[in-house]
Structure 1
Amino acid sequence: MARTVGKVASSLRERVPALSLPGAVDKVADSLREHVPPLTALPLPQAVDQRWLDLRWPVRELAPPPSGSGLAPVLGDAGPPLVGHALESMRFGVDYALRRYELFGPVSWMGAFGQRIVFLTGPDATQVALVNKDKAFSQAGWKFFIERFFDRGLMLLDFAEHRAHRRIMQEAFTRDRLAGYVDQMGPTLRAGVTGWSGQSRPRLYWLLKRLTLDVATRVFMGMPSGVEAREVNRAFVNAVRAGTALVRHPVPGGRWAGGLAGRRRLERYFAENLPAKRRTDGADLFSALCHASTEDGARFTDADVVNHMIFLMMAAHDTSTITSTAAAYYLAKHPEWQERAREESLRLGDAPPDITALDELRTLDLVIRESLRLVAPVPTLARRTVRDTEVLGHHIPADTLVGVVPAINHFAPECWTDPHRFDPERFAEGRREDRSHRYAWIPFGGGAHKCIGLHFGMFEVKAILHEMLRAHRWSLPEEYTVRWDYVSLPVPVDGLPVRLNPR
């Protein structure tokens, strides 16, 4: 369906050049994407979904363990030819991963995207991969999915090179820098959220996505709104969605081709604007990366800045959109928590909150953490083994694509009471169920590659929800339950149509 939309848009662009309507064409394409879910998200009778889930394929060993090692083989199945279990993973998301966890345990493999992928689920298996004591797990797993679009972003770097780049980048995420970012985003968020008035039944996910893209372009890039900002935002969206394309070739109108075009557009923008950012040290992240240096004088090259900006923009707006959408959904389904959070927000007064004020929003902190548990914005972390290794007594050969699945840890019954229930108090002092295991709650990853922008992300989501609580009340029908599309990252298949009422 997404490829069909792309073809329609491409055809329109080809046929109406004389009318000078590329902006109108793109609006049509964007509107179609917002309102037409991908094929994996289309509604099917429950019996059809259940039968799909119940399909069984021959169980096989991934590879025989070395003779005399005492290790067990990794068991799993390939699924249908070529696509493997990719469609089930996209359609059923965490529910499908939980089912395989129950069938095969914490270490298993399955076919997907033409690959055999080992999945490590549960806190103990996750810890082995993310602590990575023997350096057997490389970030090269991400390269299969996103290297063409986010080449040499921080998440794709390994070992000593990753440490060196992270040390420099940390200078762009100090407390003082974060305070500056928060101050800049305040007016953008307030104007955006108050502008929702008059939309009685909006699709909240798309409103939030536009809002976080505005924050990313203004706060991270120092870029005003306008035609160019919309083009850059569209390029980011296309690059993100391309990573899980089933057809991984630049077929005209397809997601892979769109992602490659988006990457080229982003490279051009950052390269053209980088010299000016080098000359002046502004308050935006782009400037911060251009001027960041360690005590021993290490700095980013121009190519480093371009690569890291493209990656950080993706990481910043997508995860914040998903988290704020999930939190808004649970606040709509649990109005007592919405009112409790609103009382705290109103006590801050009318001025846009600074970083200290956002720290005081304790209820929102609990709600956001629980929302991150129930809807992990990055459900799977990709790795690739660089040598033979073992996890929990299972042999995994070198050059194996590995998926570490934080989303499963968030439902592990040994770590969480009644794990499918929305219960923010589980993060309150006195309970702190997230401390039941070091890797029970890892929405930001873990180990050396833990998300460098996690504090910025938490502040942004808090600031968004704070402005929503001040300006609106929102609700959902009691019988409504959101359904998430996992084609790339979790997105509500219907855009989350809430009832929005001004306060």
Structure 2
Amino acid sequence: MGRHPNSLQVAMGADGVIASLAQQWRVAVPAAAAAGAGAYLLYSELAFWLRNRGKKLPPTYWEFGCLPIIGAAIPFLIDPLALARRAEAKCGDCFTLHIFGMRITFLDGPDAQENFCRARDDELSQKEAYKFSVPLFGNGIIYDAELEKRTEQIKLVTASLHTTALGNYVPKMLDELALYFGKLGDSEQLDIYESLSELIILTASNCLMGREIRQTLYKEVSSLYATLDKGCLPISFFAPYLPIPAHINRDIAREKMVKLFRGVIDKRKAEGTHEKDVLQVFMDAKYKNGNSLPAEEVTGLMIALLFAGQHTSSVTSSWTGLFILQAKEREKLLRDLLKEQAEAGPIDIDSIRNKMPLLTACVSEALRLHPPLIILMRRVQEDRPFKDMVIPKGDTVMLSPALSGRRPEVWTNPDEFDPYRWLAPREEHRGHSHAWVGFGGGRHRCIGENFAYVQIKAIWSYLLRNFDMQAVGPLPKPTYEALVVGPKPPCLVNLKRRGSKAVDC
């Protein structure tokens, strides 16, 4: 019997062999993967230097904390602006960082900004740089579309935000303002960032997404949007399909959003209703080839428009108010703003656009100091000269509105909130070409700029006319936990109502 093992012994022996093989596999596979990745990076680096030998490339910045393969990823993800400032102090206004095997070349200063903003799409491309947006917006939408189709889509969005359309949106904004702040008592304390983020989703659902969304589907859309938002992290730029919970939930939420909008679209078509909102503009639109936009693309454009407007508007409207309430010459600024409001007349598209220059300057100044998008990106399509250097094909070029907004050669006392710098006779932003890139610049200036100014100025016109306000605590610091940079909570403001709850518009 000892020489002839029974079935149990055979099974136990087989289990041991399998366990041993599994252990070897667990060790060998990661080792092989690491070796393969290392070999690929080595090959890529060698091919890069052979292709670019003899060229004067931008200096590469390294510091303590930069590691093999991941490069400067850790300091970049912690505080990209602090890293860029250290690099610029050592290397000048054009330098390269290595992050996860990518070459990231920063440009800063008036000359660099002009080089970036004046480039054509076949020189510096948005499409490759913003690939991380594809799982968010969808296939064939904006940065995943070929240039001709992308141009058509951008024209559709531009048409939906035309001056005439903006005039139709202002009454809807005022309705939301009256409803939201009308629920407050005579004296309240709010987290202004939290409140304005919620308010701007409400106005967006009313002006952009349509009556059905605002009246019956708002909570569902708001919840899905929050999930999409949480799936847009700094790591998403480098690995948008990394199977982490935030990305998995993002993909599920997007599918639900498509289904929701498809239901609204089908209902409108079945009932023959026609609304005055952006959703209707996209439903009625046709490409040059005569094809209508399928529900998936309509939803993708709606998500893109919402992301472009909600975050930037909620962040900028919050910073605008916080800076006004904590300005060095707060009392004078508030007196001037209240005088401007009294002389502007009713809040409508004409008064917002033409009769509130100081409030406009306050918004621009808040954007200069704390832009919500701290980095703009392009992919280099062909070797690009800059000064005596060559930025090589394949680099991702980054320009930072947050850095350019604090250049001492452009802005007097650049770290101070001073909205009067935007007004005559100073007009500091006119001193240098592309000195201010809060809404981008050149061929790809933000198409939602006018809508953002109208929305933010409508909010603060209403608040200035109806409440006395006092900031609580020091000015918040920016937080870099998301791709869109906002103020770090809490952002507390005390509001005391003037007079009755009647809306003073």
TM surpasses 0.5: yes
| Matched AA of 2:455 | E
Q: 2:103 aligns with which of 108, 116, 119?
A: 116
Residues 97-121 of structure 1: per-residue CA shift (max 9 Å, x gap): 3333222222222244664322222
Q: 1:344 aligns with which of 337, 340, 355?
A: 340
Q: How has the CA–CA distance of structure 1 residues 224 and 147 changed in structure 2, closer, same or farther, with 3 Å as cutoff?
A: closer
Alpha-carbon distance, 1:445 to partner: 0.8
Alpha-carbon distance, 1:156 to partner: 5.4
Tell me if structure 2 keeps the 8 A contact 1:126–1:405: no
Tell me if structure 2 keeps the 8 A contact 1:63–1:397: no
SS across alignment from 2:56: coil
After TM superposition, the structure 1 = structure 2 runs for residues 288-327 of structure 1, keeping only pairs within 5 Å, are 288-292=281-285, 300-327=293-320
Question: What is the CA–CA distance in structure 1 between the aligned matches of 2:145 and 2:70, rounded to whole Å?
Answer: 28
1:418 counterpart = 2:413: yes
1:368 counterpart = 2:363: yes
Residues 223-250 of structure 1: per-residue CA shift (max 9 Å, x gap): 4546731221232233234232538556
1:455 counterpart = 2:450: yes
Q: How has the CA–CA distance of structure 1 residues 366 and 159 changed in structure 2, closer, same or farther, with 3 Å as cutoff?
A: same
1:284 counterpart = 2:280: no
Alpha-carbon distance, 1:179 to partner: 0.7
After TM superposition, the structure 1 = structure 2 runs for residues 103-182 of structure 1, keeping only pairs within 5 Å, are 103-112=90-99, 115-133=102-120, 135-151=122-138, 152-154=140-142, 157=145, 159-182=147-170
| Matched AA of 1:127 | E
Q: How has the CA–CA distance of structure 1 residues 67 and 288 changed in structure 2, closer, same or farther, with 3 Å as cutoff?
A: closer
Q: How has the CA–CA distance of structure 1 residues 99 and 245 changed in structure 2, closer, same or farther, with 3 Å as cutoff?
A: closer
Alpha-carbon distance, 1:134 to partner: 7.3
Tell me if structure 2 keeps the 8 A contact 1:138–1:158: no
Report the counterpart of residue 49 of structure 1 in structure 2: none
Residues 152-178 of structure 1: per-residue CA shift (max 9 Å, x gap): 443555643333333333321222111
Unaligned runs of 5+ in 1: 1-59
> What percentage of residue pairs aligned between the two structures are identical?
24
Report the counterpart of residue 6 of structure 2 in structure 1: none
1:229 counterpart = 2:218: yes
Alpha-carbon distance, 1:63 to partner: 5.6
| Matched AA of 1:385 | V
Question: What is the CA–CA distance in structure 2 between the aligned matches of 1:86 and 1:338, rounded to whole Å?
Answer: 43
Q: How has the CA–CA distance of structure 1 residues 150 and 293 changed in structure 2, closer, same or farther, with 3 Å as cutoff?
A: closer
Tell me if structure 2 keeps the 8 A contact 1:245–1:256: no
Higher mean alpha-carbon deviation, 451-460 vs 438-447, is at 438-447
Residues 371-418 of structure 1: per-residue CA shift (max 9 Å, x gap): 111111211112222333333333333332222212211111221111
Alpha-carbon distance, 1:69 to partner: 5.7
Report the counterpart of residue 275 of structure 1 in structure 2: 266
Alpha-carbon distance, 1:216 to partner: 0.9
Q: How has the CA–CA distance of structure 1 residues 298 and 404 changed in structure 2, closer, same or farther, with 3 Å as cutoff?
A: farther
SS across alignment from 2:152: helix
Q: 1:246 aligns with which of 235, 255, 269?
A: 235
Question: What is the CA–CA distance in structure 1 between the aligned matches of 2:198 and 2:371, rounded to whole Å?
Answer: 20
| Matched AA of 2:61 | G
> Normalization by structure 1: what TM-score?
0.79
Tell me if structure 1 keeps the 8 A contact 2:381–2:394: yes
Q: How has the CA–CA distance of structure 1 residues 159 and 250 changed in structure 2, closer, same or farther, with 3 Å as cutoff?
A: closer
| Matched AA of 2:339 | E
Report the counterpart of residue 29 of structure 1 in structure 2: none
Report the counterpart of residue 3 of structure 1 in structure 2: none
Q: How has the CA–CA distance of structure 1 residues 114 and 498 changed in structure 2, closer, same or farther, with 3 Å as cutoff?
A: farther
Question: What is the CA–CA distance in structure 1 between the aligned matches of 2:287 and 2:196, rounded to whole Å?
Answer: 35
Question: What is the CA–CA distance in structure 2 between the aligned matches of 1:489 and 1:304, rounded to whole Å?
Answer: 24
Q: How has the CA–CA distance of structure 1 residues 183 and 139 changed in structure 2, closer, same or farther, with 3 Å as cutoff?
A: same
Q: How has the CA–CA distance of structure 1 residues 370 and 269 changed in structure 2, closer, same or farther, with 3 Å as cutoff?
A: same
Report the counterpart of residue 264 of structure 1 in structure 2: 255
SS across alignment from 2:496: strand
1:76 counterpart = 2:67: no
Unaligned runs of 5+ in 2: 1-44, 499-505
Question: What is the CA–CA distance in structure 2 between the aligned matches of 1:137 and 1:69, rounded to whole Å?
Answer: 22
Tell me if structure 2 keeps the 8 A contact 1:168–1:299: no
State the Cα RMSD in Å: 3.0
Alpha-carbon distance, 1:330 to partner: 0.5
Tell me if structure 2 keeps the 8 A contact 1:434–1:441: yes
Alpha-carbon distance, 1:282 to partner: 1.5
Tell me if structure 2 keeps the 8 A contact 1:130–1:446: yes
Greater Rg by CA:
2
Alpha-carbon distance, 1:420 to partner: 0.8
Question: What is the CA–CA distance in structure 1 between the aligned matches of 2:456 and 2:305, rounded to whole Å?
Answer: 16
Alignment length, in residue pairs?
A: 440
Report the counterpart of residue 11 of structure 1 in structure 2: none
Question: What is the CA–CA distance in structure 2 between the aligned matches of 1:420 and 1:270, rounded to whole Å?
Answer: 44
Question: What is the CA–CA distance in structure 1 between the aligned matches of 2:75 and 2:303, rounded to whole Å?
Answer: 30
Question: What is the CA–CA distance in structure 2 between the aligned matches of 1:410 and 1:245, rounded to whole Å?
Answer: 22
| Matched AA of 2:388 | G
Question: What is the CA–CA distance in structure 2 between the aligned matches of 1:199 and 1:86, rounded to whole Å?
Answer: 46
SS across alignment from 1:313: helix
Tell me if structure 2 keeps the 8 A contact 1:406–1:441: yes
SS across alignment from 2:235: coil
Tell me if structure 2 keeps the 8 A contact 1:376–1:406: yes
Q: How has the CA–CA distance of structure 1 residues 224 and 308 changed in structure 2, closer, same or farther, with 3 Å as cutoff?
A: closer
Q: How has the CA–CA distance of structure 1 residues 141 and 416 changed in structure 2, closer, same or farther, with 3 Å as cutoff?
A: farther
Higher mean alpha-carbon deviation, 66-75 vs 103-112, is at 66-75
Tell me if structure 2 keeps the 8 A contact 1:126–1:406: no
| Matched AA of 2:279 | F
Higher mean alpha-carbon deviation, 382-391 vs 490-499, is at 382-391
Tell me if structure 2 keeps the 8 A contact 1:150–1:310: yes
After TM superposition, the structure 1 = structure 2 runs for residues 328-477 of structure 1, keeping only pairs within 5 Å, are 328-334=321-327, 335-336=330-331, 337-348=333-344, 353-359=347-353, 360-477=355-472
Report the counterpart of residue 86 of structure 2 in structure 1: 99
Tell me if structure 2 keeps the 8 A contact 1:62–1:109: no
Tell me if structure 2 keeps the 8 A contact 1:109–1:118: yes
Report the counterpart of residue 28 of structure 2 in structure 1: none
Higher mean alpha-carbon deviation, 166-175 vs 190-199, is at 190-199
Tell me if structure 2 keeps the 8 A contact 1:345–1:470: yes
Question: What is the CA–CA distance in structure 2 between the aligned matches of 1:130 and 1:65, rounded to whole Å?
Answer: 30
Residues 132-162 of structure 1: per-residue CA shift (max 9 Å, x gap): 1472211134434322112344355564333
